[in-house]
Amino acid sequence: MAFDDTQPTDNTKIRDLGVVIRPNFVAIETGDSSFEPEKVNLLNRTTATVPIDPVAIATSYIMYSKEDSSGDPQLYGIDPNSNIMQFTGIAPSLATNGYVFLPGNLLLQWFSFTVKNDDNNNFPIAFAASPYAITGSEVTNNATDFDFVKPIILSATEFKTILLKATGSAQTTPKACTFFAIGQAQT
């Protein structure tokens, strides 16, 4: 059925429409070429993906889809300040060494491994920029053998660990430590 842009008229009351609006609805629903813009098909739609992030528009929030590195379509949004938020494809890993992506492009990650004093270490997942914060603690079962770990952010991919004994001197023995880091995720 062809779309008739003369129906309903501006002064037509809904109770007086009868069957006039039905052909227009069918034309919209099926994506009939007589309806402009075309391809607003509400049935059997295909995703129109965007290869790159669109440009922000003042006073508008744009929702769009683009493929992730695996080729799967993901839903994103961009606000007037060009902040991009990913809504789909961000399942958390709730393992001992895990992570979670939060709306607003925030990445939380926690991980444990053995570190040395004054040693550079890599984040399990690289951040988009230097993370906002990282904290660490020694994993120990002996309270009398307590040491301090001070992680220092070096970049989006790397941090340094400083190990100190309770006395304040450098700890030369590698220690099992656990870390928590928060920062902006890559898009």
Q: What pLDDT, on the 0 to 100 scale, is given for residue 119? A: 92
Comparing C-alpha atoms, which of 21, 25, 18 is closest to residue 6? Answer: 21
Comparing C-alpha atoms, which of 147, 123, 148, 139 is closest to residue 177? Answer: 139
CA distance 31 to 34: 8
Q: What is the per-residue pLDDT across 13-67, written as a single tens digit (0 to 9) for each? A: 666 666 555 565 666 666 666 655 544 444 555 555 555 778 888 888 888 888 7
Q: What is the per-residue pLDDT across 101-135, written as a single tens digit (0 to 9) for each? A: 887 778 999 999 999 999 999 999 999 999 999 99
Q: What pLDDT, on the 0 to 100 scale, is given for residue 27? A: 62
**Distance between first and last Cα of the chain:** 43
Task: Evaluate if pTM is beyond 0.75.
Answer: no
Structure tokens at 108: 């939380």
- The yes-or-no verdict on residue 140 having pLDDT over 90 is no
Q: What pLDDT, on the 0 to 100 scale, is given for residue 95? A: 87
CATH 2.60.40.3940 assigned to domain 98-184? The reply is yes
**Spans of all domains in the chain:** 1-45, 47-89, 98-184
CA distance 177 to 171: 13
State mean pLDDT over 142-165: 86
* Residue positions counted in the chain: 187
Residues 122/128/130/135 CA torsion (nearest 10 deg): -60
Q: What are the phi and psi torsion angles at 30 (to 5°)?
A: -90, -5
